[in-house]
Chain A
């Protein structure tokens, strides 16, 4: 970076790169959680039976009700997770806060989530890049978020892109 092209990358980001952090555990999943999630995301149509009909689900490859892949067991936490330290989200050299946007994600799914599963999460800062865009100087930050169930099986790996400008 030259002086005419500022960087929003912080020392905190460099120090945290690749380090797993932010471990937390969701409450046990219930069949009601799964059914309500499916009803909301398929609305106004009735969701597929695999998400609410145990008798039907028993005849499938899963042998029982499973959650939709995008199901979020961390919704409605009793304790809100602490937001990432500001320095991990990038910062302007003048100290003013950056504006953030969700740039998208790629999720790879392992074993499905089921009722009674307890999902744990950990995350790490993977990498970042900067460029001049229509919003001015822009920092793209890639984080990896991993979910495992109580048997240590990987449920989901997410690579998410945060945009800061």
Chain B
């Protein structure tokens, strides 16, 4: 079903989107992004980098999750125009990460019907690891 600009209201939440993350997800991302950084691949290297539980996930993968969650919501008829985030907490092994977003504004700019959202990637303990924002364009 197409998500339409007129159906969106400020305060609406987008559907949440989750992935459980560990080496299976991180290694696949390392393979496509050529991101074989030791502290993402090896527990000892993770501890040497100051993360006592061991290896930890890539910020870029959480960024990808935000983009993917937006696409899964708005589909091929929408456009992801802007995404920003800050990496505030570590993605540990076996974390379940959930992308959440809430509509904060609707505007028509440069001929586009734009919806602005606050975004975050929340772990299973409710900790927001990646606060940010997004701008999408809807038909």
Contact = CB atoms under 8 A, between A and B. Distances in A.
Contacts of B65: 41
B64 A41 contact: yes
A102 interface: yes
B10 interface: no
Contacts of B81: 108-109
A104 B32 contact: no
B67 A70 contact: yes
If over half of B's interface residues share one DSSP class (helix, strand or loop), that class is named, otherwise mixed; here it is: helix
A37 B65 CA distance: 12
A27 interface: no
A76 B60 CA distance: 16
A40 B65 CA distance: 11
A50 B79 CA distance: 12
A23 B12 CA distance: 42
Which of under 10, 10 to 19, 20 to 34, or 35 or more describes the interface residues of A? 20 to 34
A40 B76 contact: no
Category for how many chain B residues contact A: 20 to 34
Contacts of B47: none
B82 to A, nearest CB: 5
Interface stretch (A2-10, A61-69, A82-90, A117-125): A61-69
Main SS class of interface, A: mixed
A25 interface: no
Given A40-B29, A75-B33, A108-B81, A103 B87 contact: yes
A36 B60 CA distance: 16
B15 interface: no
B14 interface: no
Interface of B: 19, 24-25, 28-29, 31-35, 59-61, 63-65, 67-68, 71-72, 75-77, 79-87, 132-133
